[in-house]
Structure 1
Amino acid sequence: MNPSRRTLLSGLLGLPVLGATLAACGGGSGSGAAAGAATLKWASSYFPTHWDPVVGGSGAQFRHLSLVYASITRVNEKGEAQPDLAESWDYNDQGDQVTFHIRSGLTFSDGTPVDADAVKQAVDRARTQENSALFGDLTSIDKVTTEGDLDVVVHLTQVDYQIPLLFGERVLQVASPKAAADAAALDQQPVGHGPFVATQIIPGTKAVLEKNPDYWDAANIHIDKVELVAAPDASTVVSGLQTGVYNFADLAASQAKAAESAGLDVFVQPGYNASNLSLNVNRKPFDDPKVVEAVRHGLNRQEFVDKLTFGYGTPATQPFPEEYIAYDPQSADLWPYDVAKAKAALAQSRYSGDDLKVELVIPDEDPSAEIVQAQLAAIGITVTITIDKNWATPFFAKDLVASLYGTTGRDSPLQTLTAHFGPNGPLNLSTPYEPDGFEDAVAKVRQTPLEDAAYAENLQAATRAGLVSEALVFTYSQPSVYVKDPSISDIPANPGHVNWTGVKIT
């Protein structure tokens, strides 16, 4: 047997996933919404704008889409790839080809078989559909072929052992190919092989879903019905939970104390939620490294934490939480706040006066922008804040001088790094710039099997190489904050994910 083969048993009851546990108060495991059925009433500030997983792309909204879509793999709380639609996978000896073995006998909710061809079409669509938000994540793929009905062979352009992580919930939730033939219709009415089936979608407002009895792990789904609604306002979520309008919600940190005072369960999930100030080193004044150095030392990260996270956040120098495998301890104290150093660096730059006036473009009002404005004014850089509702277009076209961005991470830590620091990374405002040594460090990680003893060391070295980048400065991070009715049991920690396997309500 190939020593890199990774065989994973299907149907593991102990599969670690994030989720609350709800059991019917007398409801069975059927898919109907009869009286007494276990109903999850979820109020969310991130209600999906798209239901086509290829188009969505959002790090918050894929958590909702996972209600209706299964992915090829999933990731546990340690960041390890686990089975989902694929029950196992193995690489060839060269590491440039991986075969995923799809579970047998599965169907999408429209009756279409979940087979190798359906998975191949999902990957191809993510790579080629004109409005795909995922094509940039799949650049290691040369082509996808099938062997028989259940084996999907992914041929790579290079050695890349990250693929089982990459094919998790964030990138490869699989839609029915029959439904995806009309991508516009799929975007409004999702069809997948997830734990639930969408029965009603009111765009931007509400989704009603019922248990999918054909889901591969349906025996461990005890929720009969999900009512997902867009939270009208953060301040109304707590009262809605008190009165039973909702029993679960993602919560603004500013509302956490009020929820605790109301007797609700507030809990914190670790996450990859790191914010940064993005700079364009191809535009003045940030084409001068001394100006970038001044910004690095001129930002007081603790002020962001104190004023914005209500005690739940931490200062950030990198996109990973401290307990995560890709976190680099050597970069923990990168660019400490030092006004004197910042002013000295600025004095050595070739810019002054009007050349140190910067437009900071953001999509909505954001107190982070005002903190940046005040802190940079203190070292001699004048920041003008511009709100552009169409901000995404110039940001991803790399036409801005400066902006704010927040990541929610990827299932593949290397994908998180290349998205931020790679020459074509979507979060790199300075394309095609990349820091020296980053490309080699990334290649080394790709060539390291996930089970290799050197994997963590190589991954952290790639993080360290990326953080040399002058294109962004991390500011603060905060976990995901949720609130639930006390009848919902404790939720296991799994950074970035909200899955509902195994859940009961007492």
Structure 2
Amino acid sequence: MSLRNSARLRGAIGIALVAALAAVLTACGSGGAATSGGATLKWASSSFPKHWDPVVSGSGAQFRELALSYAALTRTDDQGRAVPDLAQSWDYNSAGDQVTFHLRPGLKFSDGEPVDAAAVQAAIERAKKQQNSALFGDLTSIKSVTANGLDVVVALTQVDHQIPQLLGERVLQVASPKAAQDPAKLDQNPVGAGPFVLTQLIPGTKAVFKKNPDYWDAANIHIDSVELTSAPDASTVVSGLQTGVYNFADITPSQADAAKKAGLDVFVQPGFNASNISLNINKAPFDNDKVVDAVRAAINRQEFVDKLTFGYGSATDQPFPEGYIAYDPQSKNRYPYDPAKSRQLLAEAGYKPGDIKLDLVIPSADPAAEIVQSQLAAVGITVNIKVDKNWSTPFFAKDLTFSLYGTTGRDSALQTLTAHFGPNGPLNLSTPYEPAGFEDAVAKVRQTPLDAPDYPAVLQAATRVGLQSKALVFTYSSPNLFAKTKSISNLPGNPAHIDWTGVTISGR
């Protein structure tokens, strides 16, 4: 089957897995809170967005909440594949360095502006150029975008068959270009073409939406309104679900058992979450390979699982879950727990117990940090846990020596790899370092169509090279967990995404 027909028929087949009350900002529409009655989703969110401009919010966990307002060129199905959203199909040229997305006709944003190629072009260019964009690093393969009616022609800097996976709702939620003329206003008043339209926003506290009758798949959206609330103290979420304050909530593994005992449904969403220890090999003592290897050998991943995930997580030594298309079986347990070897390596590096003293800088109190502290103390490394609320500035400037990080993964497996291991990867604390051979392995993945028979092997080979990185030590993975009342039907099990398509709420 040709690339053109393959994309048109199947999309791109890819991977197989409270704050101070402020002034109320009212969006175009009814201008008030949702009225009583109807099917109302009452969602207590632990990641209530600080930013509603998708360019500023970036591809972090808040994309799930922003997806209430916004749609993207593609979305992700239950197998993790890119499938049509605003774009009904796409095709590559024969060289693989240009892809054309064909938009659905007759669509419009919630402010009445048309969803056309010019709007998508503006969204991509804004993501690449806006000063406070959190997405520019994800779009390095895009050289230019041309708008031709409903056809978005994306010219690439290189052959890259990952683009349909990339331009989904994590990276390219499309805002109305008219609304985006004032990015500051858009940041607190989302205007998209998604399944719902904002009617009220209390920044940091609550957002209210009504169903968007002009959404392209409105016939399969059975929720009339959404009340999104910033989750209160974790201890009150389950009782809030029991009393009807909420009917859907983000929960932690420690809350799951209580939710089940309360008669609630616990939705275990598959995902690509992975936690790691970040090392900066440009700074001592991690400029010594033996010290890096000593830290690798000192880490008992199972302890993180046992103490932090309450049976819902798993030990991981890769950024992907086992069984996922990008998971490399050959690299399983490459760095096993071996504290005796760790102590030996430190001695070979010229360090006696207590010689190495490290600040572990993290953004907030985290029990994972205490586990790291304890495990490294066992091999003679002293760790001082330092909480810095402004942690993100030195981390992304690559000024820290030692830190922790956790990701929710990406829809493009290659994007996950480059974010972790690439020379400019945001999660690579050792920039510009990268493992030997990584760039070549990445290029080969980009050059391989997603439906090619050898794609899994090529992708896993890139994972294998990336895992040679001395900058990260992976520890454990925990799925996304949600509790819901039984009035809400089952949700599609799309990896890392919350999809409200087909979901019903009974007991109106």
Q: TM-score range by the shorter chain?
A: over 0.9
> Post-superposition shift, 1:504?
1.1
Alignment of 1:331-370 (within 5 A): 331-352=331-352, 356-370=356-370
The amino acid that maps onto 1:68 is S
**Letter of the 2:135 counterpart:** L
Which residue number corresponds to residue 128 of structure 1?
129
Question: RMSD of the TM alignment (CA)?
Answer: 1.8
Partner secondary structure for residue 118 of structure 1: helix
Residue in 1 that maps onto 2:79? 78
Q: For residue 75 of structure 1, report the CA deviation from its aligned partner.
A: 1.4
Give 1:45's aligned residue: 46
Partner of 2:302: 302
| Deviation by residue 1:359-378 (Cα, 9 ceiling, x = unmatched) | 11000001111110110011
Deviation at 1:3, TM superposition (A): 3.6
Contact 2:109–2:176 (Cα < 8 Å) also in 1 = yes
Secondary structure of the equivalent of 2:155?
strand
Letter in 2 for 1:366: D
Question: How big is each residue's C-alpha offset from its partner over 1:69-92, in whole Å with a ceiling of 9 and x where there is no partner?
Answer: 000101112221100010000001
1:259-300 residue CA offsets vs partner (Å, 9 max, x unmatched): 111111112111111100000000000000100000001011
**d(CA) in 1 for partners of 2:331 and 2:483?**
33
Partner of 2:55: 54
- Determine if contact 1:360/1:403 at 8 Å carries over to the other structure: yes
8 A contact 2:34–2:209 mirrored in 1: no
Show the counterpart of 1:106. Answer: 107
What pairs with 1:136-155 in structure 2 (closer than 5 Å)?
136-147=137-148, 149-155=149-155
Where 1:145 maps in the other structure, the secondary structure is strand
Output the CA distance in 2 between the equivalents of 1:254 and 1:426.
Answer: 30
Superposed displacement of residue 382, structure 1: 1.1
Equivalence for 2:22? none
| Counterparts of 2:166 and 2:138, CA distance in 1 | 8
Q: What letter corresponds to residue 499 of structure 2 in structure 1?
A: N
For residue 111 of structure 1, give the secondary structure of its aligned residue in structure 2: coil
Aligned to 2:432: 432
Q: How does 1:95-494 map to 2 (within 5 A)?
A: 95-147=96-148, 149-352=149-352, 356-494=356-494
| SS of residue paired to 1:219 | helix
Say whether the 8 Å CA contact 1:362–1:385 is kept in structure 2: yes
Change beyond 3 A, Cα 1:89–1:294: same
Give the letter for the 1:451 counterpart: D
The superposition leaves residues 110-149 of structure 1 with CA deviations (integer Å, 9 ceiling, x where unpaired) of 01110000000000000000000000000011111122x1
Q: TM-score, normalised by structure 2?
A: 0.93
In structure 2, distance between residues paired with 1:481 and 1:448: 34
Shift of 1:10: 11
Contact 1:87/1:101, CA 8 A, preserved across alignment: yes
User: How many angstroms does 1:490 deviate by?
Assistant: 1.9
Going from structure 1 to structure 2, the CA distance change for 1:114 and 1:9 (only over 3 Å counts) comes to farther
Aligned-partner Cα distance in 2 for 1:5–1:289: 49
Contact 1:10 1:87 in 2 (8 A): no
Structure 2: give runs of 5+ residues left out of the alignment. Answer: 12-16, 18-29
Does the Cα contact within 8 Å between 1:6 and 1:89 map onto a contact in 2?
Answer: no
Contact 2:358/2:382 (<8 A) preserved: yes
CA gap 1:165/1:368 in 2 versus in 1, 3 angstroms: same
| Offset from partner CA, 1:16-43 (integer Å, 9 cap, x none) | xx9xxxxxxxxxxxx9955430000000
Q: Could you tell me whether the CA contact under 8 Å between 1:189 and 1:198 is conserved in 2?
A: yes
Q: CA distance change for structure 1 residues 102 and 168 in 2, over 3 Å: closer, same or farther?
A: same
| Structure 1 residues 238-267: Cα deviation after superposition (integer angstroms, max 9, x where no partner) | 000000000001101111111111111112
Structure 1 residues 92 and 58, CA gap change in structure 2 (3 angstroms) = closer
Cα distance in structure 2, aligned partners of 1:344 and 1:491: 50
Q: Using the alignment, how far apart are the partners of 2:132 and 2:335 within structure 1?
A: 38
Q: Contact 2:492–2:499 (CA<8 Å) still a contact in 1?
A: no
List alignment gaps of at least 5 residues for structure 1: 12-17, 19-30
What SS does the corresponding residue of 2:290 show, helix, strand or coil? helix
Quote the Cα distance in structure 1 between the aligned partners of 2:232 and 2:157: 46
In the superposition, the TM-score normalised over structure 1's length comes to 0.94
Cα offset, 1:321, TM superposition: 1.3
Q: Deviations over 1:293-317 (max 9, x none)?
A: 0000101111111111111110010
Q: Distance in 2 between matches of 1:111 and 1:351?
A: 66
Check 1:357–1:10 CA distance in 2 against 1; reply closer, same or farther (3 A cut): closer
Partner of 2:75: helix, strand, or coil?
A: strand
Instruction: Confirm or deny: 8 A CA contact 1:288 1:350 kept in the other structure.
Output: no
Q: Following the alignment from structure 1 to structure 2, what is the Cα–Cα distance between the partners of residues 183 and 469?
A: 38
SS at match of 1:177: coil
Identity of aligned residues (%): 71
2-structure distance, mates of 1:414, 1:324: 13
CA apart distance, 1:9: 6.4
Which residue pairs with 1:23 in the alignment? none
> Quick check: 317-326 or 238-247, which moved more?
317-326
Q: Deviations over 1:301-359 (max 9, x none)?
A: 11111111111110010111113111111122121111111111111114446751111
What amino acid sits opposite 1:116 in the alignment?
A: A
Q: Is the 1:294–1:345 Cα contact (8 Å) retained in structure 2?
A: yes
Aligned amino acid, residue 143 of structure 1: S
User: Aligned partners of 2:341 and 2:267: how far apart in 1?
Assistant: 39
Cα distance, 1:4 vs structure 2 = 4.2
**Partner SS, residue 178 of structure 2:** helix
Cα pair 2:353 2:379 within 8 Å, conserved: no
2:306 corresponds to which letter in structure 1? D
Aligned-pair distance for 1:408? 0.3
Q: Which shifted more, 263-272 or 391-400?
A: 263-272
- How far 1:95 moved relative to its partner? 0.4
Note if contact 1:38-1:505 (Cα within 8 Å) is conserved in structure 2.
yes
Residues 492 and 498 in structure 2, CA contact (< 8 A), matched pair in contact too: no
